Structure 1
Amino acid sequence: MAGGLYRSANAMPEGVPPPADGAMLISTTPAIEGTNPPPEPGGSAAGNSAIMAAGSLVSRGTGFLRQLMITATLGTFAVGNAYTTAQIIPGMVYEFLLGGILTSVLVPVLVRRRKADPDGGQAYTQRLLSLAVLTLAGAVLLALVAAPWLTVIYAGRQDSDYQDLVTGLSYLLLPILFFSGVSALLTAILNTRGHFAAPMWAPILNNVVVIATCGLYIGLYGATLVQPDQMSAGRILVLGGGTLLGIAIQTAGLLPALRKVGFRWRWRFDFRALGLRELGRLGGWMFCYVAVNSFGLIVLFNLLNEVKGKSAGPLVYNNVFLLLMMAHGIIAVSIITALLPRMSAAAADGRYEDMAADLSRGTRTVTAVLAPIAVCYAVLADPIAVALFDYGAARGESGSTSPVLVVAALALIPFAVSQLFTFAFWAMPDTRMPALINVPVVAVRVLLQVIVFAALSTSFLAAGMMIGNAVSYIAAAVISAWFLRPRIGQIGVAAILRTFGRVLIAALGATLVGLLVMVLLPGEAASNRWLAFVEVAVGGAVIGGTYLGLALLLRIREITDVVTMVRRRLGR
């Protein structure tokens, strides 16, 4: 995680690249007769998983600390919103050009060429990297020229000082596009050669540099709330330059690993040998998927940038979405990672009943396990906001975060379930249907967000955007299930609804007990940060314990199975 910047409301979870149309060629393309195929990547699956898990944990931790430092340095209003908007621009341009296509197309192609080519895919990878470097460099130059127009597209109708700040930061942040693309491609090259450590740990370098940048900024200018017209060239240079330096160091941190796996890069310009037509065909639907999400983000950031005064805007929204993604990443992604190979194998063998059973089981498990976290987010929103974000320039402004977190709690489970259903399509493999489904889903989200913008005051705008997200995630899950049924059969809707009902009862019980505890605890979290930590610890323990007890009483199988597994391991 490189800082937790919000990119897409339906972003692909970290560490789980989807298979693309044609991905089955990875296993069916034979090595060329008369040549020696490259050796299989070293290391056991368990060892690689342990490395990735450790790196992901530290990366998520430092990424979250990075976001806390940014909030404490800039505050949650105009300057913080301008920085968040300027940072989203290169992220979305990267996603539009390469992000989704890289994970769904290029990784399978690199694996196939590594197995099939006499040189282990060395020349092909060199050509691809050469083309990517030239394309990304050209994209950065065009983006720098278009920076003022990109500001207008994403920043909305803000005053000139705000737009000037976004543009000034963009000139320093837009080169992130180049380093993000190169870093992602180098990561793919390393992964296809069996090296997982460097790609998992390199983002930590990025996070550490940005954290140090925030420390330098506070040391030079203090952690005080300022307005956009007070952001001097020196402040902008420290902030934007440090952020750019972080991603540059992350990219450089991958270079030693490339030499370790035996990859040597040299310029190759015979791009016709890449089979660009095939790459375009495979990546077309994923490109559509990303393009639709990009449109949704443009609308979202235009609406969020309409906030006035001390209302939650892009930075607060991004902070809350980061909390949502942390819960999703720790719990739901683990479940999806375990189920995806099973569903892929079942689809490949035509065992669609087994695939439907896995999908049903995953839906029930994700719902049951994430429910107590959602309750904690909703009930403990105030103390969580104070404990995590009430520092520095954001001191005393945590009240703008808690309403957004309450609504985000309602979006957590729908988001995870919609992701699981999307991965069911990718397991078959099919990128076309998720791209088509994404069109009405984003349309629903945008429509609801526009309605919320028109109906509510800007003080509730960020929370209203989360309402649009939650409804669109539900729509995504329902539409996906509708189109999956003819292909894989019944997914056990009755069993899913029974589990949903029991989980709802347990969650409501935990909510009532949690609210009672919050009333009985002395003082208010907003007045004392240490009390906020106490309320989070005590309230979280009570909510978790109550939910667990009710889940066991109601015999929610997905929870009882986890408890049984833990007891067995402790017994050993």
Structure 2
Amino acid sequence: MEEEARVNGGLYRSTHATPDREPPAEDGVTVISVDDQIPGGDQALPPEKVPPAPGTASGDGGTTGQSAIMAIGSLVSRIIGFVRNALIGMALGSGVGDAYTSAQFLPGQIYELLLGGILSSVLIPLLVRRRKADPDGGQEFTQKLLTFAVATLGIATVLVVIAAPVITAIQASDGNTDEYKNLVTNFAYLILPIIFFTGLSALIGAVLNVRGHFAAPMWAPILNNIVVIATCGVFLAAFSSDGKLTPETVTPAQILLIGGGTLLGMVVQAAGLLPALRKVGFRWKFRWDPRALGLREIGSLAGWMLCYVAANQVAVFVVVRILNEVAGKGSASVLAFNNVYLLTMMAHGIIGVSVMTALLPKMSAAAADGRYAEVSADLTRGIKLVSAALAPIAVVYGVLGAPISVFLFQGGNYTNDAALDTGTVLTVSAFAVLPLSISYLCTYAFYSLQGNKTVALINLPVVAVRIGAYFLLAAVLSESLSAAGMTAANAVSYVISAVISLAVLRRRIGRLNLGSVAVSLIKVAVAAAVAAALGVLVVSLLPGSGEPDGRVEALVQLIAGGAVILVAYLGAALALRVSEVSQVVGMVRRKLGR
């Protein structure tokens, strides 16, 4: 399910768990990662976290250093984010964890509608232009914009918190018990204020980005994660002897601790950015002058992005409501779905976003000059590279879904059965990894062509198919497979998004050389199939036979199965002459030779 983005401490990969922001690229172009997070930490925004459009930043040298800081920060943030999510599952278990995760989706959904969609596509480019054009470097305009945005966010957050019972009632399923519904509402009271601090954090990050400072927005979410991890540690220590948690047995003190700790994490993240503002010379002064902001122009520019965001949030609403139907019934539900989404986005973030960050400046420059053949060549190259790099990860997820889930998530109140159910969902997600990144590559190609409207229009039928698939699969699958079915629906929608996007791009920029792409994909698929077959064979001979009973068995399966899959894939890909794999292997050999 989209975007996404992420949440750090919750349901989303994305909230603020780990906003992956990239440093200034060529020609001063700033690319904000499509992985940007949303409230809560590591939440999984149903995919398609709105891919930010490029803006221009001031910033000269130091790109290499910034890139290194960002890469390290991204890796550390993702690792800590997984620790956070694993501890949340251990502390709360699947039933209470589903309620917590449902409440965590809400700040992300509402924030995206209020600000998230237009921040990167409209406000950042606007701040960039004013910084260049205004005699004071855009200082006064930025102060006015922040004043208006913070005041608006504050009022909206208060209203949303007051309306929490209504919002959670709409999201809840008729099959949920009253205790479960009340638990979601109680979590929502504590977690919904995250909307304000998420917006504040994002606005400060935008100001810093425009002024060429990228490290603080990258590292601040780590503070969020650390706070939530500490909260979970206190929870496990204080309530470890209370037995298995359920919506009926969870106490007000437990709700207050975990919900309050989640909110505190976001507060700390926002506060952690304030010193960086002083460092770049920006002084935040209250200036109330909405008329000077050109709100009508901002609204017109934001229209198509809001259309994009709104469609995605409808899909998020639907999937959470469907999964709430099985929450608390011993089946993989919202928490498992979110954990798997985080793993999917991790693969996309490490490989897909890296490729997109490298290609977008080149494609944008070529598109601006009308050199569409170069745009086509870069897109083709990107699809081949992403496919070759992500294929073994997809195989690992498909073959080793159960041991991965047991190793990462089992413990405390998160039982072995719950972890194995999560593994089933992860196995299905293997078929979503490649289509997700390819569809995003196409989206970035449209951004290079200034095609925001086209992206929004393509997204409408894609979301319609996704929602239709949600309802269809929910109707035909058993409750135990609901989360896996929702993941499969996402995968189908990514495929359709990629197909439609490639067809429209072909009309827009001409021949895409899809024949060579198809040949490369077939070779990659054959290599992946060989690796998967050998991986399944090896795992079936190990203790646990693919369904480990504890972390020791899971680790053995991961090491043995992972090694076989990687070696088999590399060997098959080299034998089939998959050029992208050969290039990477050659580069490694040259470096080792030196």
TM-score by length of 1: 0.94
- Offset, 1:12: 3.9
Query: 2:154: which partner in 1?
Result: 137
The whole-number CA distance in structure 2 between the counterparts of 1:90 and 1:509 is 43
Matched, 1:81 2:98: yes
What secondary structure sits across from 1:118 in the alignment? coil
Q: Is the 8 A contact 1:343 1:427 kept in 2?
A: yes
**Alpha-carbon contact 1:43-1:194 (below 8 Å) kept:** no
How many angstroms apart in 2 are the aligned matches of 1:87 and 1:491? Answer: 41
Which residue number corresponds to residue 53 of structure 2? Answer: 18
Equivalent residue for 1:354, pick from 356, 374, 395 = 374
Report the equivalent of 2:126: 109
CA distance in 2, matches of 1:99, 1:193: 20
Is residue 428–residue 488 contact of structure 2 (8 Å, CA) maintained in 1? yes
Contact preservation (8 Å) 1:445, 1:472:
yes
Q: CA deviation at 1:527?
A: 2.2
The 1-side partners of 2:544 and 2:436 are apart by 34
Match of 1:183 in 2: 201
State how far apart, in whole Å, the 1-side matches of 2:148 and 2:250 are: 38
1:70 is matched with which residue?
88
How many equivalent residue pairs?
Answer: 551
In structure 2, give the amino acid aligned to 1:475: I
Equivalent residue in structure 2 for 1:125, among 119, 132, 142: 142
- For residues 264 and 502 of structure 1, what CA distance do their matches in structure 2 show? 56
Q: Deviations over 1:281-338 (max 9, x none)?
A: 2111111100000111111001000005110000000001111111111111111111
Structure number with greater CO (CA < 8 Å, separation at least 6) is: 1
Partner of 1:60: 78
Residues in 2 aligned to 1:197 and 1:220: alpha-carbon distance in whole angstroms: 36
345, 357, 366: which one pairs with 1:325? 345
Report Cα offsets for 1:427-478 as digits up to 9, x if no partner.
Answer: 1112101111111001001101101111111111000001110110000001
Indicate the residue corresponding to 1:254 in structure 2: 273
Q: Is the 8 A contact 2:524 2:578 kept in 1?
A: yes
- Structure 2 gaps, min length 5: 1-15, 18-40
8 Å CA contact 2:224, 2:266 repeated in 1: yes
- The aligned counterpart of 1:30 is none
Q: Is 1:9 the counterpart of 2:47 in the alignment?
A: yes
Q: Residue 447 in 1 paired to residue 468 in 2?
A: yes
Q: 2 CA distance for matches of 1:127 and 1:366? A: 42
Question: Aligned AA for 2:434?
Answer: I
Conserved? CA contact 2:396–2:562, under 8 Å: yes
Q: Find the partner of 2:235 among 217, 224, 231.
A: 217
- Within a 5 Å distance, the mapping from 1:227-266 to structure 2 comes to 227-266=246-285
SS at match of 1:562: helix
Distance 1:515 1:400 in 2: 18
- Residue of structure 1 in register with 2:210 after alignment: 192
Q: Does 1:483 align with 2:500?
A: no
Alignment TM-score, normalising by the size of structure 2: 0.91
Aligned-residue offset at 1:563: 1.1
Task: Tell me the SS of whatever aligns to 1:269.
Answer: coil
State the SS of the aligned residue for 1:526: coil
Q: Which runs of 5+ in 1 are unaligned?
A: 28-39
Query: Is 1:464 aligned to residue 485 of structure 2?
Result: yes
Kept in 1, the 8 Å contact 2:416–2:550? The answer is no
Q: Cα–Cα, structure 1 residues 523 and 82, in superposed 2: closer, same or farther, change >3 Å?
A: closer
- Distance change >3 Å, CA 443–CA 466, structure 1 → 2: same
1:560 positional shift:
0.7
Q: Residue 540 of structure 1 corresponds to which residue in structure 2?
A: 562
Calculate the aligned-residue CA RMSD, in Å: 1.3
| Partner SS, residue 44 of structure 2 | coil
| Secondary structure at 2:123 match in 1 | helix
- Tell me the equivalent position of 1:404: 425
| Structure 2 Cα separation of the partners of residues 402 and 51 of structure 1 | 33
Q: What residue number does 2:450 align with?
A: 429
| Deviation readout 1:379-424 (Å, 9 max, x if unpaired) | 1112111111111101222121111011100111011100110111
Tell me the alpha carbon deviations over residues 198-235 of structure 1, each in whole angstroms, 9 at most, x when there is no partner.
Answer: 11111000000000000111111117421112222111
What is the alpha-carbon distance in structure 1 between the residues aligned to residue 471 and residue 244 of structure 2? 30
Aligned to 1:566: 588
Tell me, yes or no, if the aligned pair for 1:156 and 1:301 is still in contact at 8 Å. no
Between the aligned partners of 2:548 and 2:523, the Cα distance in structure 1 is: 34
Distance of 1:569 and 1:341 partners within structure 2:
27
1:43, distance to aligned residue in structure 2 (A) = 4.5
User: Displacement, 1:153?
Assistant: 2.1
Is contact 1:153–1:298 with CA below 8 Å preserved after alignment?
no
Q: CA deviation at 1:141?
A: 1.1
Do 2:231 and 2:258's aligned partners in 1 also have CA atoms closer than 8 Å?
A: yes
Note the C-alpha offset of 1:522: 3.3
**Moved >6 Å (runs of 4+):** none
AA of the residue aligned to 2:508: R
> How far, CA to CA, are the matches of 1:149 and 1:181 in structure 2?
23
Deviation string 1:148-205 (CA, Å, 9 cap, x unpaired) is: 1110222222111111111111111110000000100000000111111111111000
Whole-Å separation in 1 of the counterparts to 2:544 and 2:150: 57
Aligned equivalents of 1:311, 1:265: Cα separation in 2: 49
How far 1:367 moved relative to its partner?
0.8
